[in-house]
Amino acid sequence: MNSVLRPLFFAIVVRPLMIILLGTNVRRHELLPDHGPALIVANHNSHLDVFALMNILGLRRLSSVRPVAAADYFMTRPLRRWFATRIVGIIPIDRNNVRRDRNSKHPLEPISEVLRQGGIVLLFPEGTRGEPERLEAFQAGVAHLARRHPEVPITPVFMHGLGKALPKGEAILVPFFCDVFIGQPLDSSLPKKAFMEQLCDRFDRLSKEQPPKEWI
């Protein structure tokens, strides 16, 4: 990552964008991890999701924050690859990578490496951007990470509004207020099925904190 351009981009571009043009309301900001290693799991409706999370974490923690992103999307074009890796600082994951034998690298190892280095990882367990403001089924990768790193706190975050500000497939930003609801850390000691049920239940509860539909 570029240690000079990255904070400048977030201070000059992202922060004014999120504060002035969109506006962000954060509930229970104090539940965000103060330092790494930590894992933040959030719903995914827009490319703005990453910037919103990195903005509320603040410039002090910026150097530790690494979003997980699909290598097949961000690593195919030179300019997009440079911006994603050098400015945003993504952890590129091959979504088609299947571990064929014991000697091959585990698909989640790049994330584990960042956690072992004390990073704050942003993960979107839906796997891809879904329909605006609609939760899709969660993938089990987060449960495997919980088993691999039981000591790492996992904080759920539900975001509302960004799917309307910049939905999938759109290039024009529409001003729309963003609500961010932060939940208590998940219990990483649970078996896989129970952990996923806990994750779904937590997001269901957080999603019900958003404003009534007549005000959306």
In a domain, 213, yes or no: no
* pLDDT tier for residue 30 given thresholds of 50, 70 and 90: very high
- Give 120-178 pLDDT, tens digit per residue: 999 999 866 556 567 778 999 999 999 999 999 999 999 988 877 876 666 677 778 88
The total of structural domains in the chain comes to: 1
Residue 143 lies in a domain: yes
Rg (CA), the chain: 17
pLDDT (mean) for 188-197: 95
In tens, the pLDDT along 33-88 reads: 999 999 999 998 888 899 999 999 999 999 999 999 988 777 778 898 999 999 99
Residue 67 covered by a domain: yes
The pair of structure tokens assigned to 209 is 């904190």
Least confident segment among 6-15, 66-75, 111-120 = 66-75
Residue 98 lies inside a defined structural domain of this protein: no
Q: What is the mean pLDDT of residues 107-123?
A: 96
The reported pLDDT for the residue numbered 146 is 96
187 in a structural domain: yes
Containing domain of residue 57, as a range? 5-93+107-208
What CATH number did the domain enclosing 61 receive?
A: 3.40.1130.10
List of residues 6+ apart from 89 with CB closer than 8 A: 1, 6, 65, 66, 67
- Asked whether residue 102 is domain-assigned, the answer is no
- pLDDT given at position 85: 92
> 159: which 2 tokens?
């975001």
215: in domain: no
**How many whole angstroms separate alpha carbon 51 and alpha carbon 17?**
10
Q: Is residue 159 part of a domain?
A: yes
pLDDT of residue 35: 95
The pLDDT assigned to 157 comes to 97
Amino acid 181: pLDDT:
96
Whether the CB-CB separation of 123 and 142 falls below 8 Å is answered with yes
Q: Is the pLDDT of residue 216 over 90?
A: no
Looking at residues 106-129, what average pLDDT do you find?
90
Query: Could you tell me which residues are beta bridge partners of residue 179?
Result: 25, 160
State how far the Cα of 48 lies from the Cα of 207, in Å rounded to an integer. Answer: 18
Helix (H, G, I), strand (E, B) or coil at 206: helix
Q: Is the pLDDT of residue 11 over 80?
A: yes
